[in-house]
Amino acid sequence: MKIVLISLSTPTFNNIRAASALPYHLIDGYKGHQFKIYSYDINHVGKDEQDKTKNALRVDIELISRPNWITWMFKLHLAILRVFLKYPFSCYYKLPEHIIKEIKEWEPDKIWIYGEELAGLAEHFNGIETIVTMPDCESMYYHRLLSKRFATQKLSQILRYSIAYYQYRRMERDLWRKDVKYHFVGKADAEFYKGINPEANAIFLPHPIYGFAEERKIQFHQPKIKILVAGRYDIYMKEACDDAFQMFLDNQQFSNNYEITFLGKGWENWCNQLKQNNYACQHIHFAPNYIEELIQHDIQLSPISVGTGTKGKVLDAFSNGLMVIGTPFALENIQVKNGDSCLCYNTTDELKQHLERIPSLIEEYEQIAEKGRKCVLKIHHKVDIASLLFG
């Protein structure tokens, strides 16, 4: 089978400055088929990284230039003018005529578009089976954001998120086709999109897992259990993290049982506060080998306040045998069950209760971690998911 991928970002093994790993692993899961990649390279991947993808996946990659007017708007710091656009910026990326011709002459069996802003490019390929991997529904993200107290405290926030919501919703309403398959890694995302376009062929498939340590033995550290918090301290995590770590400060007895590692940017303040309150705590800005660092820990705490789709770092934790404690947003779309293969909490009181029980029932929680790993390795396998998507 011959498949052409037209992507906003250049595929890479791990996400680099964009959600660039999903198409990489779906291609890897569909080995034996021919792929040709055309990328707008919004993640600015260097030649070395491009060559890694080309060699590992045995694909050709051709970069497409973005429109000059968009480039100059950013260079001149005029991005504020986006408020006057009907759709989001990336929706105005076009395919040059010579590339359209080149793709058709290659005679692909399928056209695969990655990034919902590019969905309108499907119009160039009538008669060829087309799939658009969204992978999230952006209008749903802004819809959720506008329901959050922390995101609506200022008029400027409300205006910014409202404009983005209406631009994405308008785009999703206008630029869809009955003969295109729309692929999401979030069940609620697919349903929200169907709410906008009831006749759309919108499907949800589990998010594939990436790299994992197959032979890692699950055994919690003693005398202190190692907790990892992975990701950037940003709008996705801020509110839930602030609540969670204030709970740690209010319950210093946990410093006898747990040590905490932050992996990502922006955690300096919380790391310092925890240290000042007798917690063993460290902050790692960047790990050259993410999986190697991940498996040094026992529990991943994922206090995610808002988001859509599937959270990749949460999926990584499951597949590498960490026991995951997270909010409902952190755990959505991952095929695990609260109390059996993960721990979900809605309030900091529930989080506190979980943390109180774990040290005296370590073997029980190690089994929860093992069940979580087995569920994810079985249901989120890239080969099965790629076969469902392309088959």
Using alpha carbons, select from 156, 296, 141 the residue that is nearest to residue 217: 296
Find out whether 252 and 278 touch, Cβ atoms under 8 Å.
yes
Is residue 81 over pLDDT 90? Answer: no
pLDDT in tens, 164-194: 999 999 999 999 999 999 999 999 999 999 9
Q: What percent of the chain has pLDDT over 70?
A: 100
Average pLDDT of span 184-208:
97
The whole-angstrom separation of Cα 250 and Cα 246 is 6
Q: Which amino acid is at 292?
A: E
Report the pLDDT value the prediction gives residue 163, as an integer from 0 to 100: 96
- What's the number of CA atoms in the CB half-sphere (13 Å) around residue 304? 26
> What pLDDT, in 10s, does the model give residues 226-259?
999 999 999 999 999 999 999 999 999 999 999 9
Q: What tens digit of pLDDT does each residue of 11-39 get?
A: 999 899 999 999 999 999 999 999 999 99
Average pLDDT over residues 212-220: 90
Task: Return the CATH fold of 225-379.
Answer: Rossmann fold (3.40.50)
| Cα dihedral value 141, 147, 149, 150, nearest 10 | 10
pLDDT digits (tens, 9 = 90+) for 99-124: 999 999 999 999 999 999 999 999 99
**Nearest Cα to 219, choosing from 300, 299, 315?**
299
Burial 38-57 (b: 16+ CB within 10 A, else e): bbbbbbebeeebbeebeeeb
pLDDT of residue 215: 81
* pLDDT above 90: residue 42: yes
Q: Indicate the pLDDT class of residue 82, thresholds 50, 70 and 90.
A: confident
Amino acid letter, 158: I
Using one digit for the tens of pLDDT, what is the confidence trace for 55-79?
Answer: 999 999 999 998 888 888 888 888 7
Domain with CATH 3.40.50.2000 in the chain: 2-208+382-390, 225-379
* CATH, domain range 2-208+382-390: 3.40.50.2000
